Amino acid sequence: MNQEEAINWIAGMFNESASDLSAGTLREDIPEWDSLGLLTLKAEMDEKFGIILSDEDTEKMTCVDDLLQTLRENGKLES
């Protein structure tokens, strides 16, 4: 997966337009990245990529780049 595909996936998960998201987009600027959104994120990361996120992992995520970095670190996103 490349970064554009990853951003499209993130946008879809949070019901955002991919054109409105970038690596620097803050979590607080994505309305659906709330407590329910975190549950969705955890489930999607597990189901789609086999990545298990802890509560601590998700609490540290403050922007889209943090999600991208997690995908990179787990070999799911091209560098």
Residue-wise pLDDT for 65-75, tens only, equals: 999 999 999 99
Cα–Cα distance measured from residue 59 to residue 72, given in angstroms and rounded to the nearest whole number = 18
Rg (alpha carbons) of the chain, rounded to whole number: 11
User: What does pLDDT average to over the chain?
Assistant: 96
List, for residues 31-58, the tens digit of each pLDDT value. 999 999 999 999 999 999 999 999 999 9
CA distance 75 to 33: 24
- The pLDDT value recorded for residue 13 is 96
Q: Which residue has the tokens 């595909």?
A: 5
What is d(CA 14, CA 73) in angstroms, rounded to the nearest whole number?
A: 22
Distance (Å, whole) CA 2 – CA 57: 22
